[in-house]
Chains A and B, each alone.
Chain A
Amino acid sequence: MIIGLDVGGTHTYAVLLSNQGVEKSVKVTTNHADLFSTVLSGFTQLLESIDPSQIERAVISTTLTTNAIIQQTMEPVGMIVSAGPGIDPEFFRTGEHYYAVSGSINHRGREKASVNEMQIQDIAKKMVDAGIEYVGVVSKFCVRNPSHEILIKRMLNKYFKKIFLGHHVSGNLNFPRRIATTHLNAAVFSLHKSFFEAVKKSLTEKGLTVPIQILKADGGTMSLEASMHFPGQTVLSGPAASIMGAIPYAPEGQDAIVLDIGGTTTDIAFLVDKAPLLEPVGIQRGSYKSLIRSLRTDSKGIGGDSTLRVKDGNLTIGPDRQGPAMAFGGPLPTPTDAMVVLNVMDTGDREKATAGIETIARQLGLSIEEAAEKIFKTCCTIILKKTFEMIDQINSQPVYTVHDFLEGYKLSPQKILVLGGPAPFFAQKIEDLYQIDTLAVPNSPVANAVGAALARTTCEVSLYADTEQGIVTAHEEDFAEPISKTFSEDDLMETAYTLLKEKAINSGADPENLEEVEVVEFQKFNIIRNFSPRGKIFRTKMQLKPGLIKGYETVLH
């Protein structure tokens, strides 16, 4: 049996799954000030009268790092960045202890200026004096040659508890995002570590000894041990959990939209043949841009508890939440009240809901019934409009080859999957309004926890081979090997697959779930100098696709 636990904004759900389906589920109110006791209470209630030795797997998704970013409770850490030619690295400052240093690597990975050891020693002393314990080191083009980062780490090791290096963060180029991501990993490390060590200790005391898996932003899992190196990857795993929870109900061979309608926001995501769409570079939410692999989601500030108002004769919905719906004791009318009025929802205090909607109806010059209908319809329209904008945006993404230009895949969803408390009510309305097959995901409230429970391990490797320089590298994996001039595309793919499997196993993957391998990117270039060939450049990215573990496909139907 397996356990999934998802810490949500309002409630935390935990489920116990067997290959018969959901055996048990529990709901705990999320206490953001004490996530540890929230998680533990979820586990405790779930494991009551269950023999812990029957549990084969446990996956946790939490808001821990997300909260740390939002509440700015991240620890002050030191950052050393070496930029070389280009944009002034001062623009990417992460905080007080941020030092731009000399040294430069070019786009081919060749050293153009060396590290100044005196400068590094000086900075190390300053950071030690300031009480810094964790440091991030990032150099431009370290993805092509990490030697400067490694050298600087060696010089700093004796002064600090842990050093985070940029080239371990991602195989993708993007210096500013790499700085932000390395900083994030360093800044949430001790919080993450103490949290999960405490969780693990408590679970062990309860007799639960299986390895703990943590959900990542890309909808995949990683082992607790692996998460210690990249705690930042757990950011925004909440939306990922719900999207994974929708997968069992997604159509095969088709595109689908996932809408997770919550109290204050609706998360929007897409599935292509049951596989979620990923962000092209990394998580981007507002001004925060990183290299953390993540599902492509966006949210709209509208949900069941959004505050309704009338401004200049026009109805507005949200983006704020002033409490629950009036039907549930809240102060102001919300879309949920409209649903209660319309009898599509049969819980809550109908009288209070009607009173709330009446104030809106009066201002709009409509009957209560008409106003409620209008509110409900407007909600659906706003959410769907945002969804179609996202589809347009995805379909107008730039391409860099003639082939991609001519063959570019166009996302065209034929099904909508709705999750969240009011999902069943919304599903019917959306289907009526847009004539798109719309389904409320069964067990909607616990779908997130189910998604976490069933998510398989994901990972990606990026390889770069340069036969002129005679080397194939995957610096993210600390891999570099000499190659000959005859190194081929097949050699590259074989190396990539070996590295990918190794990485997956090290991240806690079940060997039975290593088949969903996908080449995400492949490019090959001749290097020509003075009109004659000097070698070849090969680039590839290979991934284990996000998806669900085997053996549980049918249990949810």
Chain B
Amino acid sequence: MLKALHKTGLVFFPAFDWAIDPTHPEREERLLYTQDQVTEEGIFDIPGIIEYKPMLATAEDIRRAQFCVPDEAAITTESHLISAGGAKVIADAVMNKEVKNGFALIRPPGHHSMRVSHGGRGFCHINIEAIMVEYIRSRYGVKRIAIVDTDCHHGDGTDNIFWHDPDVLFISLHQDGRTMFPGTGFPGELGGPNAKGSNLNIPLPPGTSTEGYLYVINHCVLPVLNEFKPDLVINSAGQDNHYTDPLTNMNFCAQGYAELTTLLKPDIAVLEGGYAIEGALPYVNLGIILAMAGIDYTGVVEPDYNPEKLKQSVSITDKIKKTTAQINKYWSQRFQMREDAGKPGEIQIRHKEIFYDTDNIFERQKERVRICKDCGGCFEIDSQATPGFHILGVHIPINACPACIEKGYEFFDKSVENKYHHVFLMDRPKGNYHIK
């Protein structure tokens, strides 16, 4: 009889009544065909597969991960809150050991939403993975978490949120930023001074096929995970690497996704992008669900699948091998790089410009971080959006040392109130969020 080898939890929230706008790729129809395929396959009847109802995430949940400007209510709709809440429900099911692993098939996605959010970027308003990760850390005290972002776009929002965090390993596989939105995610982007090497960005050339993806997983991601020894592995399971995706130029297939999932063994997978809603998503999602549940997925093949046509060229293979070697080198040098990044107590400054393509907002940031060898370091972000607000966000990391806690409050107290519309302080050790 058909039975899940691993108990797998699913939250399926297609938000059939929510869209950015009627012809937008992120619209009502997006998970329609997935639902048809999954229902027709009888997925929810398989013993060992448990479907959960999503819940609403709260402002408190978001405030562990992000500064929403001017506030949470202004930049989210119910769909965003249900999407983040759906990820939380899966996290609870996995952490309470009701299931071995879980997959949140939810929309809208979140991985382009950064520490400071003034609105929608790349169809994302709030970062559902980051909200889930911070919820897990606060609620269950989990220390080391690895996020592997396999969406075809650089997971720049998640990358940004965990930029200074040595306890969260963020690995993003994506189509080369020179050819696609958001234009970032190069190998040299390795994380802040206190966390160098805990962000790994692996750009892949257009035309990368299943062979290339699995090469990177086997020769870089798995060895790195092996060394990092995370307590939890999370997969930002974007499905826009598919050979039929209208927004990207890759040659990945449903079998490849299923195999990647089998190799990666994520505890939690969260759906991100994927816009080939008719020809790819039904098969890719089915493949991932079966792989997570440990059920044979060899029958999940797109009707028009032609491996010959999707083969990657020798030059692509070479490029991928070179990038992989480069990343592995950075990874092996990570402690030295952190050592070289600066003296403890020193403040380092970074300037950043961010464009919100969904909401047409331009944001300038000045970030100041305290160099620290004892924790991820506290930091403040001065952020000015046009059109929009000018705010200051201060972050004290969850495992902050006493010096960084003190410095964080100093950032907050010394901020000049009339200079900003709002000043926020995210005190993660205490679980407080202050606004002035």
B131 to chain A, nearest CB (A): 18
Closest to B254 in A: A85
Q: Mark A73-113, 1 if CB is under 8 A from B, else 0.
A: 00000000001111110011000000000001011100011
Task: Say whether B283 faces chain A, with CB atoms less than 8 Å apart.
Answer: yes
CA distance A461 to B37 in the complex (A): 21
- A400 contacts which chain B residues (CB < 8 A)? 12-16, 35
Decide yes or no: A528 and B27 within 8 Å by CB, A107-B282, A108-B278, A405-B78 being known contacts: yes
Residue ID in chain B nearest A532 by CB atoms: B23
Verify A525–B29 contact, CB threshold 8 A: yes
Partner of B36, one of A173, A176, A289, A527: A173
A230 in contact (CB, < 8 A): no
Say how far B103's CB is from chain A's closest CB, in angstroms.
14
Q: B16: shortest Cβ distance to chain A, in Å?
A: 5
Task: Determine if A173 and B16 form an interchain contact, defined as CB atoms under 8 angstroms apart.
Answer: no
* A409 vs chain B, min Cβ distance (A): 14
Q: Is A397 an interface residue (CB 8 A)?
A: yes
Smallest Cβ distance from A148 to chain B, in angstroms? 14
Partner of B33, one of A83, A87, A108, A523: A108
- B296 touches A (CB below 8 Å): yes
The answer to whether A175 and B40 touch across the interface, beta carbons within 8 angstroms, is yes
In B287-306, the 8 Å CB interface with A consists of 290, 295-296, 298-304
Q: Does A86 lie within 8 Å of B17, measured CB to CB?
A: no
Known: A85-B283, A398-B53, A527-B29. A173 touches B39 (CB 8 A): yes
* A83-B299 contact given A176-B42, A525-B29, CB 8 Å threshold: yes
Please state if B52 and A398 are interface contacts (CB–CB under 8 Å): yes
Measured CB to CB, the nearest residue on chain B to A110 is B303
A177 within 8 Å of B by Cβ? yes
Contacts of B54 in A (CB 8 A): 398, 405
Confirm or deny: B180 has a beta carbon within 8 angstroms of a beta carbon on chain A.
Answer: no
Contact B27 A402 (CB under 8 A): no
Chain B residues with CB under 8 A of A525:
16, 28-29, 32
CA distance A397 to B54 in the complex (A): 10
- What residues of A have a CB within 8 angstroms of the CB of B41 in the complex? 86-87, 175-176
B79 an interface residue at 8 Å Cβ cutoff?
Answer: yes
CB distance from A279 to the nearest CB of B (A): 12
* Complex contact B278–A403 (CB within 8 A): no
- In the complex, whether B51 has a CB less than 8 A from a CB of chain A is yes
Whether, in the assembled complex, A376 has its beta carbon less than 8 Å from a beta carbon of chain B, the answer is no
B114 to chain A, nearest CB (A): 25
Chain B residues with CB below 8 A from A479, complex form: none
B53 touches A141 (CB 8 A): no
A526 touches B (CB below 8 Å)? yes
Tell me if A141 and B40 are in contact (CB < 8 A). Answer: yes
Name the CB-closest residue of A to B52: A398
Q: Are B53 and A397 interface neighbours, CB within 8 A?
A: yes
A72 on the B face (CB < 8 A) = no
B400 at interface, CB cutoff 8 A: no
With an 8 A cutoff between CB atoms, is A396 at the interface? yes
Contact of A289 with B45 in the complex, beta carbons under 8 Å: yes
Smallest CB gap from A113: residue in B: B303
Contact with B along A279-315 (1 / 0, CB 8 A): 0000000010100000000000000000000000000
In whole angstroms, how far apart are the Cα atoms of A467 and B296 in the complex? Answer: 36
- Within the assembled complex, what's the spacing in Å between the Cα atoms of A519 and B300? 34
Query: Smallest CB-CB separation from A177: which chain B residue?
Result: B42
**Within the complex, which residue of B22, B25, B246, B300 is in contact with A86, where a contact is CB–CB below 8 Å?**
B300
Residue of B nearest to A174 (CB): B42
Q: Is the CB of A530 within 8 A of B246?
A: yes
Complex Cα spacing A526 to B28, Å = 8
Number of residues on chain A facing chain B (CB within 8 A): 44
Q: Does B18 contact A (CB under 8 A)?
A: yes
Instruction: Say whether B32 contacts A537, CB under 8 Å.
Output: yes
Q: A140 within 8 Å of B by Cβ?
A: yes
Q: Does A118 contact B (CB under 8 A)?
A: no
A71 at the interface (CB under 8 A from B): no
Q: Mark A489-515, 1 if CB is under 8 A from B, else 0.
A: 000000000000000000000000000
With A91-B1, A175-B40 already in contact, the answer to whether A401 and B53 are too (CB < 8 A) is no
The smallest C-beta distance from A538 to any residue of chain B, in angstroms, reads 12
| Chain A residues, Cβ within 8 Å of B302 | 85
- Residues in B with CB closer than 8 Å to A526 are 22-23, 27-29
Chain A residues numbered 345-392 whose CB sits less than 8 Å from any CB in chain B: none
Selected from B17, B23, B45, B52, the residue in CB contact (under 8 A) with A531 is: B23
In the docked arrangement, what's the CA distance between A83 and B42, Å? 12
Report Cα–Cα, A174/B42, bound state, in Å.
Answer: 5
B53 lies within 8 A of A88 (CB) = no
Known interface pairs A107-B282, A177-B42, A528-B29; A402-B36 also in contact (CB < 8 Å): no
* Residues in B neighbouring A112, C-beta threshold 8 A: 303-304
Q: In the complex, what residue of chain B is closest to A523 when comparing beta carbons?
A: B16
The answer to whether A86 touches B82 (Cβ under 8 A) is no
| B2 at the binding interface (Cβ < 8 Å) | yes
Contact across chains for B51 and A398 when beta carbons are under 8 A apart: yes
Query: A402 contacts which of B40, B47, B82, B300 (Cβ < 8 Å)?
Result: B82
Contact with B along A395-429 (1 / 0, CB 8 A): 01111111101100000000000000000000000
Interface hub of A91, A107, A397 (most chain B Cβ within 10 A): A107
Q: Least Cβ distance of B25 to chain A in Å?
A: 8
B152 in the interface (beta carbon within 8 A): no
B286 in contact (CB, < 8 A): yes
Are A107 and B17 closer than 8 Å at their CB atoms?
Answer: no
Q: Let me know if A551 is at the binding interface, CB within 8 A.
A: no
Q: Are A405 and B82 in contact (CB under 8 A)?
A: yes
Tell me which of A141, A398, A402 contacts B17 (CB under 8 A): A402
- With an 8 A cutoff between CB atoms, is A253 at the interface? no
Q: Which residues of A contact B42 (CB under 8 A)?
A: 87, 174-177, 289
Q: Which residues on A sit within 8 Å (CB–CB) of B45?
A: 174, 176-177, 289
Contact among B11, B14, B290 with A87 in the assembled complex (CB-CB below 8 Å): B290
A143 to B36, CA, bound (A): 11
**Chain B residues whose C-beta falls within 8 Å of the C-beta of A85 in the assembled complex:** 283, 299-303
- 30 cross-chain CB contacts under 8 A: A85-B302, A85-B303, A86-B300, A104-B303, A106-B303, A107-B33, A107-B37, A140-B40, A143-B40, A173-B39, A174-B39, A174-B40, A176-B42, A176-B45, A289-B45, A398-B11, A398-B12, A398-B53, A399-B13, A400-B15, A400-B16, A400-B35, A402-B17, A402-B18, A405-B82, A525-B16, A528-B22, A528-B25, A531-B23, A533-B22
Given contacts A87-B295, A398-B52, 20 further A-B contacts (CB under 8 A): A85-B302, A86-B286, A87-B42, A87-B296, A108-B278, A175-B41, A176-B2, A176-B42, A287-B47, A289-B45, A399-B53, A401-B18, A402-B17, A402-B18, A402-B82, A405-B13, A525-B29, A527-B29, A531-B23, A537-B29
Which residues from chain B sit less than 8 Å from chain A, CB to CB? 1-2, 11-18, 22-23, 25, 27-29, 32-33, 35-37, 39-42, 45, 47, 51-54, 56, 77-79, 82, 246, 278, 282-283, 286, 290, 295-296, 298-304
> Which residues of A are at the interface with B, using a C-beta cutoff of 8 A?
83-88, 91-92, 104, 106-108, 112-113, 140-141, 143, 173-177, 287, 289, 396-403, 405-406, 523, 525-528, 530-533, 537
